[in-house]
């Protein structure tokens, strides 16, 4: 095992120093971006500055040329549009002049090249009385109908008028029928209202008569009891009969005259047993009614009945 001497350490340090210097030199030499050894950096900076100035000058020059070209293009477009409008106006003026003063019909040879010459020409046959219809022309035959279209059109118009007339008549008939039905319904309603009114009047009159009869019987009853009349033996039967007398007479006879006559006979004291038995549905022998002589009612009451 060797012992490191101070001179060995110095030699080792110098060797390491040289190695480090060599590595730094290699980095400077082999790095193309940062290598500045062997060149003039000031000259290079001046060249870069001159190049930038040249590029800026060229750019400004190109921009000036571009602006001038744009201006020239705009002027060219304006001039082309003006020329196009002038050409269009000129063509329109020429066409108007030709349409106004140079029509094809005004030419001398127009009849030779007229496209509507055959359409304007007269037909070979206009009617049956045409003087051009000769025997050799064979333009007229038996059984022909030249007025077929006019006759068909006239028949169609006539059928249409007939159809419209039938429709109007049908609508008028329906309107008359609706009017008649409405009048019939109104008349029926009026008849119903009149019948209802008469029925109400009849009911009111019947109630008034019944009330008058009951009141008169009540007065008669009070007079009989007060005067002590001997006819009290059959009076309860008369009272029960008078309660239903009006209804029985109306049901059996359907006559107000019978009701009035019966009430008057009962009031004057002469009841008709045959009529009462007929109304009550019993025989006259079962109704043992004693006549009585109640006071004679006043003339006003009889007239009211």
Q: Which residues contact 191 (CB under 8 A, 6 or more apart)?
A: none
15 part of a folded domain: no
Q: Which residues contact 229 (CB under 8 A, 6 or more apart)?
A: 292, 293, 294
Q: How far apart are CA 280 and CA 262, in angstroms?
A: 13
227 part of a folded domain: yes
Predicted pLDDT at 287: 41
Predicted pLDDT at 142: 74
Predicted pLDDT at 295: 41
Q: In this model, does residue 279 exceed pLDDT 70?
A: no
Range of the domain at 288: 208-304
Confidence of residue 292 (pLDDT cuts 50, 70, 90): very low
Residue with tokens 């009330």: 211
178 part of a folded domain: no
272 part of a folded domain: yes
244 part of a folded domain: yes
5 part of a folded domain: no
Give the mean pLDDT of 144-153: 83
Q: What is the mean pLDDT of the chain?
A: 75
198 part of a folded domain: no
283 part of a folded domain: yes
The percentage of the chain sitting over the pLDDT mark of 70, rounded to a whole number, equals 68
Q: In this model, does residue 143 exceed pLDDT 80?
A: no
Count of domains forming the chain: 1
For the chain, where are the alpha helices, taking DSSP H only? 6-30, 41-101, 117-120, 148-227, 235-252, 256-268, 273-280, 299-304
Q: In this model, does residue 244 exceed pLDDT 70?
A: no
């Amino acid at each position: 095992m060797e012992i490191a001497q101070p001179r060995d350490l110095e030699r080792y340090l110098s060797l390491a120093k040289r190695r480090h210097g060599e590595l730094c030199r290699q980095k400077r030499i082999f790095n193309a971006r940062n290598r500045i050894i062997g060149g003039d950096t000031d000259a290079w900076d001046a060249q870069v500055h001159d190049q930038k100035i040249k590029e800026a000058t060229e750019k400004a020059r190109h921009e000036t040329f571009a602006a001038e070209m744009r201006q020239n293009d705009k002027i060219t477009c304006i001039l082309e549009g003006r020329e196009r409008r002038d050409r269009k106006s000129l063509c329109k003026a020429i066409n108007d002049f030709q349409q106004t003063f140079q029509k094809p019909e005004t030419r001398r040879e127009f009849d030779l090249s007229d496209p509507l010459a055959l359409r304007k020409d007269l037909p070979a046959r206009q009617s049956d009385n045409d003087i051009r219809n000769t025997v050799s022309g064979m333009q007229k035959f038996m059984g022909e109908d030249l007025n077929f279209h006019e006759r068909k059109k006239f028949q169609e118009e006539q059928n249409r008028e007939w159809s419209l007339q039938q429709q109007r008549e049908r609508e008028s008939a329906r309107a008359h029928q609706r009017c008649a039905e409405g009048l019939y319904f109104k008349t029926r309603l009026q008849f119903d209202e009149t019948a209802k009114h008469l029925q109400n009047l009849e009911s009111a009159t019947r109630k008034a008569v019944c009330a008058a009869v009951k009141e008169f019987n009540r007065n008669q009853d009070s007079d009989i009891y007060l005067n002590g009349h001997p006819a009290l033996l059959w009076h309860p039967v008369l009272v029960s009969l008078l309660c239903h007398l009006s209804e029985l007479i109306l049901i059996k006879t359907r006559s107000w005259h019978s009701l009035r006559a019966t009430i008057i006979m009962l009031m004057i004291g002469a009841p008709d047993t045959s009529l009462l038995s007929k109304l009550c549905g019993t025989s006259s022998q079962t109704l043992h009614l004693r006549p009585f002589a109640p006071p004679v009612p006043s003339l006003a009451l009889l007239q009211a009945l």
